[in-house]
Amino acid sequence: MKDSLRKGISFGLTSAVITTLGLIVGLHSGTHSRIVVLAGIVTIAVADALSDALGIHISEEAENAHTAREIWEATVATFLTKFLFAATFLVPVLLLSLSAAIIVNLTWGLSILSVLSYIIARSQGKPPWKIVGEHLVIAMIVIALTNWVGDWIGTLGA
C-alpha cells in the first residue's frame, strides 16, 4: 500500500475510534440522552473528519518531502476513513438501547483498534501484544477520562 494512503487510513481509523468512543462515553455519562449522543457522533463524523484531514494535509506539506498527489492522497484517505468509521458508531445507537449501544460500540471500537495495532506490529516485526496493549491502554485512559468528565459535567446541571 502507498505510504500516503497507509498514513491517512491509519490516522483516520485511530482518530475515528478514539475520538468517537471518548465522545460517546462522555456524552452518555453526562446526559444519558440518545439524541445528544447521535448528534455528537454525526458532528465527529463530519467536523472532526474534516479537521483531521486538514491537519494531515498541513502536516504533510510542512514536511516538504511529499508530492502534491501524495499529500492529497493522505488528506482524502484521512477524511474518508474518519468519516466512514465514525459513522459506523451510529448504527448501534439507532438500533439498540443506549446502554447496550455503548457496550457494542466499545467492543467494536476496541476491536478495530486491536486489529489495526496488530497489523502495524506485524509490519514492523514487533511483538503484537506490546503494540496492541499499548494502544488499548491509551484508548482505555481516554474512555475513563471522558467518562469522568461526563459524570462531572452531568453534576453541574443537577
Helices (H) and strands (E) in the chain, counts: 7, 0
Q: Write the CB contacts of 136 (distance below 8 Å, at least 6 apart in sequence).
A: 110, 113, 114, 117
User: Are 102 and 114 in contact, with CB atoms under 8 Å apart?
Assistant: no
- Rounded-to-integer distance, Cα 41 and Cα 64, Å: 34
Q: Which three cell numbers stand for residue 106?
A: 466499545
Q: Write down the pLDDT at residue 158.
A: 61
Q: Does pTM top 0.85 for this prediction?
A: yes
Q: Write down the pLDDT at residue 41.
A: 97
Distance from the first to the final alpha carbon of the chain:
52
- Rounded-to-integer distance, Cα 56 and Cα 96, Å: 34
Q: Write down the pLDDT at residue 144.
A: 97
pLDDT in tens, 62-101: 998 989 999 999 999 999 999 999 999 999 999 999 999 9
- Residue by residue, pLDDT tens for the chain (158 residues) are 688 888 889 999 999 999 999 999 999 999 999 999 999 999 999 999 999 999 999 999 999 898 999 999 999 999 999 999 999 999 999 999 999 999 999 999 999 999 999 999 999 999 999 999 999 999 999 999 999 999 999 888 76
Q: What are the residue ranges spanned by the domains of the chain?
A: 3-156
Q: Write down the pLDDT at residue 7.
A: 87
